[in-house]
Structure 1
């Protein structure tokens, strides 16, 4: 039987690129994941939406998995980008071959509004690969909208499910409904925008990317140690930057530039057709970082 994912913060890892060819930057990737480990992340999620996995070749995906696994000892979740069963199985086999027993879960997107179809899809992926499943409900990427009650029904029918990532707004009410029905832990995403409210509604933590994941960890730890008041106090200094990174269409570019300015990436490039950071927003990003606790690390350029 697969083990449920541990509560806390599972950092979604951005993939750094260098040069005009946008070559995977293994040095920057190593620096980023070691930082996650050093600040106390519970685990890491690689090849997610903000890891630009859909724009990586199979060889590049393998490289990312290998670099992360060799760089840190944290448990790893790996994402699959496809919606149909056969290509997800193909992606999953690359993941299981590369990570072996380091794999804590394969993150698979909800691919239908019908719970029977979803459960059949997830069970088929597990049966073909043996991978424990993290169910991702992210309609902004998948284009699939499922009712919360139907999502709970689907997950109940997947014995290999080890977590659910709820990213269909409004997420706090969805988290409340899902945690009331399910034994598997439910994690929030969306850059941590709703983290405080999701924790209040029963979330196990966050599975997301943010240029200052220290804020996600501080909020989650404070919630468990002191409840709402403590978590709110811990998270408040980070919320302007969280909100700034949540801008539709350019969120990835904002985050990667923030990570670069922290000294973790050499460059902040995104692969086309992702939109780049508008020059008009660069000064405001600098203001946000200067006002965020610990945002600029020692040695940052």
Structure 2
């Protein structure tokens, strides 16, 4: 079966953090521009905006529009816009906002799995597509959605939906999920979770990574090396970054660590996160300095 023109291109789709500034934690548009321009220079295939690590759930509608318009005006990369809701009507509203703000730069809307029942999920995704005309990236991220679906049920839901642009597999063990999905679906499957399982996901058929990491050039180097030289080349390219990857992905504080890494790289002016996200514990500042120093 030939690939759909709606399918996302393989490679690295960088998940964009939303920078804030000042005591009121306003969206920092200047830092956002620096960040996405760096992602483009680093070789990202496209960008995922308003994802979980973009703190989209903590943004107002006006702020979401500002983020999308700023990113679209700053880089030429295709964009995927995340939807935070699980219900069909609010997802449609979020997707239409993204379509209005980003226009033809919008490659797809990313929609979370909202039910373990394939028939319910399929109806949801079809309704979103029909209401918006947009291709859909399906995100299986039970840690955030609270919904757990088997790979078999996910395949059953997606098999007959030609508008599915990609699947983002973030239900551990992700390599097993990637293998099952790539074996049964035509749509490309991307790993996430900050690149923790990237090598194994590529080995199981992943088209690349759709995730955030404070050194996106490392993600690009790994995926490019896999394509050109296979496992050994990809392992060599990714190994220098792995200590920071595991440090950055600590549960509960991963977002704060990543934003502080980005600040120390000069890409963000400030590294604050919006509540209820946790701030970076002072006990980790020195170890973070060591990690960043090692991969500069």
Match of 2:104? Answer: 101
Give the secondary-structure state (helix, strand or coil) at the position aligned to 1:169.
Answer: coil
Residue pairs, 1:108-119, within 5 angstroms: 108-119=111-122
Give the secondary-structure state (helix, strand or coil) at the position aligned to 2:18.
Answer: coil
Give the secondary-structure state (helix, strand or coil) at the position aligned to 1:162.
Answer: strand
Residue pairs, 1:32-181, within 5 angstroms: 32-181=35-184
Whole-angstrom distance in 2 between the partners of 1:219 and 1:16: 26
Structure 1 length-normalised TM: 0.96
Match of 1:298? Answer: none
Give the secondary-structure state (helix, strand or coil) at the position aligned to 2:80.
Answer: strand
* Shift, 1:219, TM fit: 0.4
Give the secondary-structure state (helix, strand or coil) at the position aligned to 2:213.
Answer: coil
Whole-angstrom distance in 2 between the partners of 1:53 and 1:231: 32
Whole-angstrom distance in 2 between the partners of 1:2 and 1:273: 39
Whole-angstrom distance in 1 between the partners of 2:136 and 2:5: 9
Whole-angstrom distance in 2 between the partners of 1:51 and 1:39: 19
How many residues are matched?
A: 293
Match of 1:212? Answer: 215
CA shift digits 1:150-201 (9 cap, x unpaired): 1011111322101000000000011001100000000000000000000000
Match of 2:230? Answer: 227
1:250 and 2:268 equivalent? no
Give the secondary-structure state (helix, strand or coil) at the position aligned to 1:291.
Answer: helix
Unpaired segments ≥5 residues, structure 2: none
Residue pairs, 1:264-275, within 5 angstroms: 264-275=267-278
Whole-angstrom distance in 2 between the partners of 1:247 and 1:135: 24
Give the secondary-structure state (helix, strand or coil) at the position aligned to 2:190.
Answer: strand
Structure 2 length-normalised TM: 0.98
* Shift, 1:208, TM fit: 0.2
CA shift digits 1:280-301 (9 cap, x unpaired): 0000000000001x3xxxxxxx
Bigger shift: residues 64-73 or 99-108: 99-108
- Judge conservation of contact 1:2–1:132 (CA < 8 Å) in 2: no
Whole-angstrom distance in 1 between the partners of 2:278 and 2:102: 31
* Shift, 1:2, TM fit: 4.8
Unpaired segments ≥5 residues, structure 1: 295-301
CA shift digits 1:205-257 (9 cap, x unpaired): 00000000111000000000000000000000000000001100000000000
Match of 1:241? Answer: 244
Following superposition, which runs of at least 4 residues in structure 1 exceed 3 angstroms of deviation? none
Give the secondary-structure state (helix, strand or coil) at the position aligned to 2:108.
Answer: strand
CA shift digits 1:70-122 (9 cap, x unpaired): 00000000000000001101111101111111111100000000001001000
RMSD: 0.7
